[in-house]
Amino acid sequence: MMVTIKILFFAGIADVTQHAEETWQLSAQDNTVQDIIQELIEKYGDEFRQLISTCMYAINMEYVSQMHPVAPFDELAIIPPVSGG
């Protein structure tokens, strides 16, 4: 069974992926944020891998760990560090 989620990209991560959001198809039902991150690294390469190591994650607007499960139709936001003055 295919599972569909929406992934939101911000700042440098959006620059690497060249878009702010993506619909992602998962082949298994028991996926975690970490599983999706691994697939994204395979798709987008080393620059993505370097940036993702400092990011935080939110599922449906709540911060979660990489071990958090992802359910069908969830929205995963990948949030890089924010700085400013």
Percentage, residues of the chain above pLDDT 90: 85
In the block, tokens 């992926």 appear at: 17
Whether 14 is covered by a domain: the verdict is yes
Whether 57 is covered by a domain: the verdict is yes
**Which whole number is the average pLDDT over 27-52?**
93
Whether 37 is covered by a domain: the verdict is yes
Q: What share of the chain is helix, strand, coil (3-state, %, to 5)?
A: 30, 35, 35
In the block, tokens 């359910």 appear at: 71
pLDDT band with cut points at 50, 70 and 90 for residue 30:
confident
Whether 74 is covered by a domain: the verdict is yes
Whether 27 is covered by a domain: the verdict is yes
Whether 48 is covered by a domain: the verdict is yes
Residue 74: name the closest of 2, 6, 1 by CA.
6
**Which whole number is the average pLDDT over 33-53?**
96
In the block, tokens 């993702």 appear at: 52
Q: By residue range, what is the domain housing residue 41?
A: 3-79
Whether 85 is covered by a domain: the verdict is no
Q: What is the CATH number of the domain that holds 31?
A: 3.10.20.30
Q: How many folded domains does the chain comprise?
A: 1
Whether 56 is covered by a domain: the verdict is yes
